[in-house]
Amino acid sequence: MPVLDLVASLERFYGPLPAPPADPFRCFVWEALGTQTTPVRRDMAYAALRRIPALTPDAMFRAPRAKLAAAVALAGPYQEQRISALLAGVAQFRRRPDLSSVIQGRLRDARRAIEALPRLADASVGRLLLFAGNHAVMPVDHDVVRLCVRLGRDSETDRATAAMARGVRQAIQRALPPDVDLFRRTSLYLSHHAVQTCTDDPHCIVCPLSEHCPSAKT
């Protein structure tokens, strides 16, 4: 099934989905809160930071530490690591007022700047490049790899995880025109489907792709 048709099927099934923030600092916060937790917990913590408010580098720097800790705690475990990452990111954005512009500038410079931010996995770097930097880069995490392997987009399941992610990312990028909005839609719906339906124990009976999936349970 072509990637564009696959995404269209997922759009019809799930309806509109929220996207990561377009502002580079807010997108970094969204990613830092979302590491090793669920989307629901991430969104609760992000909303709590918005209420403080603490969603600019200066505002988070000035925020009372007790309020900051209470908001971050809503994301679940690893509270201290999240706070440490957020404050380290705050320091970088305050030290470099041009950092947001760099992230939205040349891809090479943007990638280097984002990779210097703390506690960001490869998929988080990709989402920052795509949603906050406006670069046509496809983020791929282990959930999307699992989904694409099941769909037959990368069948070499004995390869190393990093190599599999790279192969899946390259396959998706080759299948799409270099359009940022299309990359965003594809990333949103593949990731959402992988987390909500095509899980470790997949819910094939309700999956809108089961008819085209060679791994679907019969």
What is the CATH topology of the domain spanning 3-16+138-212? Endonuclease Iii, domain 2 (1.10.1670)
**pLDDT over 90, % of the chain:** 80
Q: Which of 115, 145, 144, 148 is nearest to 31 (CA)?
A: 115
Q: Where are the domains of the chain?
A: 3-16+138-212, 24-132
Query: 24-132: which CATH architecture?
Result: Orthogonal Bundle (1.10)
DSSP per-residue letters across 186-217 = HHHHHHHHHHHTSSSS--GGG-TTGGG-TT--
Q: What is the pLDDT of residues 148-180, one digit of tens each?
A: 989 886 545 445 567 888 889 999 999 999 999
pTM for the whole structure: 0.91
Q: What is the pLDDT of residues 46-92, one digit of tens each?
A: 999 999 999 999 999 999 999 999 999 999 999 999 999 999 999 99
Half-sphere exposure of residue 159, counting CA atoms within 13 Å on the CB side? 15
What are the percentages of helix, strand and coil residues in the chain, rounded to 5? 65, 0, 35
